[in-house]
Amino acid sequence: MVMREASWLSAAGVASGVAASFLLSRFVKSMLFGIAPYDPVTLWGAALLLGTIALGASWIPARRAARVQPIEALRRD
């Protein structure tokens, strides 16, 4: 459950970031040296890296939540 929610959030964040990069790339065009504003390798590489980091960061709490026995979690509440 934790990983599913984290994957949806990270996918939404990466998708909105890619969309924003397409919209704002003409403003930073003068600052880019050596790559095109719409370089697909750079965009997909950055999106893949951010998605991997987000899922990796959510894996630790998901693993910790999976170790807790349900009856122990109910007793503490």
Give the pLDDT mean for 34-57.
87
pLDDT of residue 77: 61
**pTM metric for this prediction:** 0.71
pLDDT of residue 34: 78
Helix axes 2-24, 40-67, angle to 10 degrees: 160
Domain ranges of the chain: 2-76
Give the pLDDT mean for 22-40.
81
- Please list the helix, strand and coil fractions of the chain in percent, rounded to the nearest 5, in that order: 80, 0, 20
Percentage of the chain exceeding pLDDT 70: 99
Residue 3 has pLDDT above 90, yes or no: no
pLDDT in tens, 50-60: 999 998 999 98
